Structure 1
Amino acid sequence: MRYDQISPRLSDVPASVVLPPAPRRPYAAAFRALICAAAVAGIVIDLAVGSPGRVLSYFTIQSNVLIAIAFGWSAVRAVRGGPPLPARVTGGALLYIAITGLVYHLILANSASGFSMTDDQTVTVTGWRTVSNQLLHTVTPLGAALDWLLLTRPGGLRPRHAAQWLLYPLAYFAFALTRGALLHPGSPARYPYPFLDVDQHGYAGVLGNAVVLGLAFYALALAIVGLDRVLPYLRGPENRISSPAASGLK
């Protein structure tokens, strides 16, 4: 009698028997739920005080939608003891929300940048819009960064992910130009951001702005990947023996 006739194959054994269930992480779940709530609150405020079509055209809103989905999902997994989200998903979400925060504070809210939205007379930031601006441009980027640095298992990112993540900003650039070309000249927020305003800078100028920003985004993506490779060594030997294949939001 052959051995495989009397011994069950490993593939026939349930995964729950081979691997112990992941521990529940209520504190991580609570923190991620708060980040998700901040993103949702900011989005709802903007939708309530602005035109939905115009609001949803902003990279800020779209990146915060991704944060709400990713952190809401990961909060549920953490409280139930489920597996983490893939590292490429959490890393991409971090990159997009980091772009949102950095572009806002360094360019759009900086009068010295030459692309400040405060110079746009069609933009009025008062009352609830001030609250949503802080939630979407400050709270969620900082929260996502802290979660990634302190609560996320490192070691799962690769340099190829940095290039893959840029597909979304590239698609957004094409969307913004196409939307602007289809809208009637003079429409409010025809182009969502000053550095994408073809009427003011022309297509050549806008393309130049996009190339500069794209290179900066790629450098930021590579920095995230590089830091992800270093973090296991900074956190100590316990993390160095963790399986990179399981990386993601723990």
Structure 2
Amino acid sequence: MTAPIPRDIPDLPALPRTSPHLLPSAVPARAVVPLARRPVAAAYRLVLALLAAGAVLIEILAGSPGRVLSYFAIQSAVLLAVVMLASARRAWLARHPVPGALTAATLLYVGMAALVHHLLLADATPRFSMTDGSAGPTWLEPLAAHTLYTVLPVATLLDLLLLSPPARTHLRQAATWLLYPLAYLAFSLARGELLPGSPARYLYPFLDVVRHGYRNVLANALLLGLAFYALAVLIVALDHVRPDPVRHRPKTGFRLQPPVG
């Protein structure tokens, strides 16, 4: 036996509403948007990694490997090659991109190396060179220098603007990116103290303690550090104001947030 269905069903009380609109949920984009292969980005980054590796190889063959690998521009190019190679692999295999802080820091280092070269070293007397010109394909060195100081910074910036999702960096990370330049300063000064008789005792003329003294060298380093930080802040700001070139966000009930890192 079943109970008879009543003719009139009493009205149920309305549920209280605390907001006239549904509150968005802070769900990361990776939770609702499937990852896809990006062959164009993978090919571009692979070419960029090969350019960086080729420029470093030419500089090494044209001079002393130990001396060449000690320069900030060379170390930045090696880091760029590794990061771009890893990023190309992830784009090809439809995996999560490398952390945004790492790619932004790489752009900062190659960009700052380029600015220092064009503003302080390109017209220096005597002519600045990372090699001694005693061995290797010296006729390729100008091509390698052009790649290091012009092609790589511009190409890395284009990768950030056109092939990377935005808003993956934070202003608080800008200070941590300066740890490597600070460590390099300590390395450069210690190298100069340990090689008193070497003609390449100090790698950069503005860090030459014998010529300028520690006071002026540290003042130069402070100015460069401020320039490093200003460029880092500019990169973070650019990362947050630019549009998303990777994909359009679908209309869902969630508020999509890009992956942090």
TM-score w.r.t. length of structure 1: 0.82
The alignment status of 1:49 with 2:58, answered yes or no, reads: no
Instruction: Quote the Cα distance in structure 1 between the aligned partners of 2:204 and 2:258.
Output: 38
Q: CA deviation at 1:29?
A: 0.7
Instruction: Quote the Cα distance in structure 2 between the aligned partners of 1:119 and 1:71.
Output: 28
Instruction: Quote the Cα distance in structure 1 between the aligned partners of 2:234 and 2:146.
Output: 25
Q: Secondary structure at the match of 1:153?
A: coil
Instruction: Quote the Cα distance in structure 1 between the aligned partners of 2:74 and 2:118.
Output: 16
Instruction: Quote the Cα distance in structure 1 between the aligned partners of 2:63 and 2:223.
Output: 30
Q: 1:238 aligns with which of 212, 224, 248?
A: 248
Task: Indicate the residue corresponding to 2:71 in structure 1.
Answer: 58
Q: Residues 197-236 of structure 1, C-alpha deviation per residue, up to 9 Å, x if partnerless? A: 1111111110000001100110100111111111138x69
The alignment status of 1:84 with 2:97, answered yes or no, reads: yes
Task: Indicate the residue corresponding to 1:118 in structure 2.
Answer: 127
Query: Mapping of 1:87-166 within 5 angstroms?
Result: 87-111=100-124, 118=127, 126-166=138-178
Instruction: Quote the Cα distance in structure 2 between the aligned partners of 1:160 and 1:70.
Output: 21
Task: Indicate the residue corresponding to 2:210 in structure 1.
Answer: 199
Per the alignment, do residues 119 and 44 of structure 1 end up closer, same or farther by CA in structure 2, a change over 3 Å counting?
closer
Instruction: Quote the Cα distance in structure 1 between the aligned partners of 2:86 and 2:65.
Output: 25
Q: CA deviation at 1:21?
A: 4.2
Share of identical aligned residues, percent? 48
Q: 2:225 aligns with which of 214, 219, 229?
A: 214
Q: CA deviation at 1:120?
A: 7.5
The alignment status of 1:226 with 2:237, answered yes or no, reads: yes
TM-score w.r.t. length of structure 2: 0.79
Q: Secondary structure at the match of 2:127?
A: helix
Bigger fraction of residues in helix: 1
Unaligned runs of 5+ in 1: 1-17
Question: 2:68 touches 2:130 (CA, 8 Å); kept in 1?
Answer: no
Q: Residues 75-131 of structure 1, C-alpha deviation per residue, up to 9 Å, x if partnerless? A: 0111111110111111111101111111111211034xxxx5626798659511111
Instruction: Quote the Cα distance in structure 2 between the aligned partners of 1:237 and 1:77.
Output: 17
Instruction: Quote the Cα distance in structure 2 between the aligned partners of 1:121 and 1:41.
Output: 15
Instruction: Quote the Cα distance in structure 2 between the aligned partners of 1:196 and 1:96.
Output: 18
Larger Rg: 2
Instruction: Quote the Cα distance in structure 2 between the aligned partners of 1:73 and 1:174.
Output: 29
What RMSD, in angstroms, separates the aligned Cα atoms of the two structures?
2.6
Q: CA deviation at 1:237?
A: 9.9
Q: Residues 120-154 of structure 1, C-alpha deviation per residue, up to 9 Å, x if partnerless? A: 79865951111111121111111101101111111
Residue correspondences, number: 225
Instruction: Quote the Cα distance in structure 1 between the aligned partners of 2:232 and 2:76.
Output: 15
Task: Indicate the residue corresponding to 1:35 in structure 2.
Answer: 48
Q: CA deviation at 1:238?
A: 3.3
Q: Residues 15-64 of structure 1, C-alpha deviation per residue, up to 9 Å, x if partnerless? A: xxx65641111111111011100100011111111111101110011000
Aligned partner letter, 2:104: G
Instruction: Quote the Cα distance in structure 2 between the aligned partners of 1:100 and 1:37.
Output: 19
Instruction: Quote the Cα distance in structure 1 between the aligned partners of 2:192 and 2:249.
Output: 48
Aligned partner letter, 2:79: L
Question: 1:55 touches 1:61 (CA, 8 Å); kept in 2?
Answer: yes
